Each structure stands twice: as structure tokens, then as C-alpha cells.
Copies of this chain bind each other. A is one copy, B any other.
Amino acid sequence: MFGKEVYIARRKALLERLQGEKGIALFIGNVDAPAQYKDNCYKWRQDSNWLYFFGIDEPRFAATIDLESGEETVYADDFGIDDIIWMGPMPTVRSLADAAGVAKTAPYGALSAALHGRKVHFLPASRYATRLTLGALLGLDPAETTSAGKGGCPKASEPLVRAVIDLRLVKEEREIALIDAACDLGYEMHTAARRGIRPGRIEQEIVGEMESVALSKGWGVSFSTILTQHGEIFHCHSHGMPVAPGKLMVIDAGVESNDHYASDFTRTYPTSGRFSQKQRDIYQTVYECNELAFSMIKPGVSYRDVHLAACAHLLDNLQQLGLVHGDVDGMAAEGIAGLFMPHGLGHNMGLDVHDMEDLGENLVGYDADQTRSTQLGLGSLRMARRLRPGHVITDEPGIYFIPDLIRQWKRDGTDKGCINYDKLEAYFDFGGIRLEDDVLVTADGARRLGAQRLPIAPDDVEAAMEQDKKL
């Protein structure tokens, strides 16, 4: 937890943005999430909005801010002797509210009455438990309390959502320091993973070794580790394969620090330590797209334009490799890059890996005058906004060869004749490549987060893997 002045200032800034609104802003902290039976829960993780405005890292807390009077109240119950036996002595609710700079406390059960008859502004919930709580408190169907698709949650308070996004999107110096620290630990984790790659080992063994780094010094991983020789499957969480020689291994993994800030890096390694020429050609393209994107990041530039520039570069290179043909601008406009990179260039990152995504992807990632595309790839772009100093975003281009998708495009003629399908067939067992850094938008440009950058240029990757063998 930061000092209470931090939370007081954040809530003051929130209240200022909501001036003129009537009613109460409601914040529901998380409860434990059962993995099996009720006493066997997943690792405790507090709600990120709660952490941002109140910081109290304990289950079963809620709070209200009266938008008219400014009165703030924390709702929670003190521990009894049974709780103390099983969970140890706990600071009182009063002392925790003090740490958050909140003057008033009340039992959790008093929350319902406090909301009665008032207009209630709430944030969309992702956890099922919070959906149930909000549903019961507000007389809503729990399904109405969560963001539907990318558009947000119609019953939630758009003024509150916008105010929270406005604040959390621009990181404070103290947050940037913690993200840097999460990136440093992420660097260690990825280095351990790279050192573990040897044909014959089971992927899962490497996952255990790398996650050990995150668990030993931080909260753990910031999302389910992706470590796969099927890089063309974006969220492949199956780790049962032996490492095969001559393949590409995509490792997309991050650390959550003990202060709950995330890192999120992706590297792609040749399992044998050296790229084949075919692999190197595609890798070089993705690497260039990553570098190009980074070079464009500065205040005022829209990240949508950076995405499109990376896609154009991708198409240009693939044309030289003979995989596509046609006018690059025309192909870019038609969204042809989406066949090879059916995801966006990046997303916001902070307390959440995809920062604030539960508030509604479009509200978080798009300026008011930007409309989200429906094209494959561009339509998945989570961050399109014009960049501002303090934004923390990922830069993660990729190229993938997804047989089912290629067959579908061929069947449907989606490519408008731009794809050389005969040449593509040689890539059906290629897999995929993604290269991801975490980037801070600065006053006049950008800085990659973390003290060291993971080796990324193809020669540097091979040199690092050669060095690893000597350990």
C-alpha cells in the first residue's frame, strides 16, 4: 500500500471529474474465488479499481463515495476468534480504513441500506461473485452488471467509468517505478525460460522453472503463461509437448509484482538455438515491425496509426518473400495483414495486464472520435488512442500461419486475390512468432520499461542461446 495521501488524492481527482453528478459511487472489492470447494480458493487477488482507489488488499471490503456530500465510507467486518484461529490476527477495519484515508466505516451488511433510494454509480464487474453482489444490491440481473462484448456495460455508470479510465490510463511516477520493477522480474523470468529450452525436455518443466522466478520474488505470474511450439495458437496453455528440434517456441509471460503491477513480454526462440533461413526471414519481419512501432511512439500519435504502419511493413516484407502480392497500401486498407496478424499491436498495461479491460475495451482503448474496426486484426486492437505521456502500452507484432484460417480465407475469397496460397502451404507447420516489449510514453517519445531489454535481434537471440549452453 502507498501512503494514505495517495488514495486521498486519487479519490479527490475522481470526485472532481464527477462534479455535478448525483448519487453515490460504489466500489466492491473482491472476495476469495473457490477453485474447488469453498475453502479451497484460488490465490487471493484484489480488484484493481479497488486497489487503485483504496489499496486495502483484503477480501470482502466495499466502499461508497457520496458524489454530492463527498462523504466516504468503507464497509467491512472485523475478524472474530474463529477467523483469528484460521487466518491469524487481522488489522481492524478501522485501521485499514485509516490507511486508505477514509474517515467512516460501517459493517458490510449496512451497505444495502446506504444505497437505498440513491442513484448508484457502479463499475462493470468481471468476477462472478461481484456480479452476484451487485445484482443483489441493485436489484439487477447479475448478467447486467458486466461488460457485454467490447462495448462496456450499459447499466454501469459511464461517467464513473470514464473518470476511472481517465485517471488510471496516465500512470503516476510511483506506478511507473513499480511497473519497471515488474519488468525487471519479468526479464529474469524470461531469461530462466530461455535457458531451459533444450530439445527433449517437456514444455511444462520450463514453465515450472520460469514461474518459480515470479513466485519467489513477486505475487506470481500476471496471466496464464503461454509457452508453446504452436505459436499460431494465441492463448495456448497446454504444456505437455516435448521440445522438438527445429521448431519455434513462443513464450508470452509476465510477472505480477507484490504491489500488483504487471509486466508482459513475448519472445520467440529457435528450439535448436539457431534459426533456419525460413524462420529468420519471418522473425526479421516481426522484429522490424516491433522496432518500427517503438520508433513511432510519442505523444499525439494514435496507436491505431502505429498498428497500421506495422501492418504495412509486414505486408511489404511478406511481398518480398513472395507470400502476398499487390499494392501494399491497398492490401493494408483491405486488412490483408489480418490473415498473418489477427490481433492488435498492443494494449494498455498497469494494475491489469490488459489494463481496465473489464470497464469496456472500447471505452478504455479508443478516443471518442475513433470507431473500432470490424476487420480481422485491426478489430482486435485493444489500444487505438492518441498517445499521452504516462501511457504504458505493449508493442507486440506477430506473424502466424493458422491453417484453419488460411483455408477459410481461400474458400471465402477474403484475400481479394492478394495471397499466394501455393507458397503459403509450405508454412502450415511453421507456427508463429510474436515479439513484445512494454513501453512508456514519455514527454517527447518512448522508453522501454525495465532496466534491460531481452535479446530480440535474431543474432542477439542466437548469441544468448549459445551463451546459455555454457552455463
- Using CB atoms and an 8 Å cutoff, list the residues of chain A in contact with chain B: 33-45, 48, 81, 84-89, 126-129, 131-132, 142, 146-147, 204-205, 207-209, 211-217, 223-224, 230, 233-238, 240, 258, 342, 352-354, 356-358, 402, 404-405, 408
Contacts and interface: CB of A to CB of B under 8 A. Distances in A.
Given A33-B42, A353-B40, A81 B405 contact: yes
Contacts of A405: 81, 84-85
Contact of A81 (B44, B48, B84, B408): B408
A142 B128 CA distance: 11
B39 A354 contact: yes
A209 B358 CA distance: 33
Contacts of A41: 224
A240 B84 CA distance: 19
A404 B84 contact: yes
Question: Which of the listed residues A39, A142, A204, A405 has the most CB atoms from chain B within 10 Å of its own CB?
Answer: A39
Copies, count: 2
Nearest to A85: B342
Q: Which 5 A-B pairs have the closest CB atoms?
A: A208-B216, A212-B212, A88-B233, A208-B215, A128-B128
Contact of A223 (B40, B85, B215): B40
B36 A33 contact: no
A353 B88 contact: no
Given A40-B353, A208-B213, A208-B217, 7 more contacts: A34-B126, A35-B45, A36-B353, A85-B234, A86-B234, A87-B236, A207-B215
A230 B90 CA distance: 14
Nearest to A221: B43
A84 B230 CA distance: 12
A354 B34 CA distance: 13
B88 A230 contact: yes
A217 B204 contact: yes
25 contacts: A33-B127, A33-B128, A35-B42, A36-B352, A36-B353, A36-B357, A37-B352, A37-B354, A37-B357, A37-B358, A38-B126, A40-B354, A42-B42, A43-B224, A44-B237, A81-B405, A85-B234, A87-B233, A88-B230, A88-B233, A128-B132, A204-B217, A208-B213, A208-B217, A212-B212
Nearest to A32: B224
Contacts of A38: 126, 146-147, 357-358
Contacts of A353: 36, 40
A148 to B, nearest CB: 10
Question: Which of the listed residues A35, A205, A215, A224 has the most CB atoms from chain B within 10 Å of its own CB?
Answer: A35
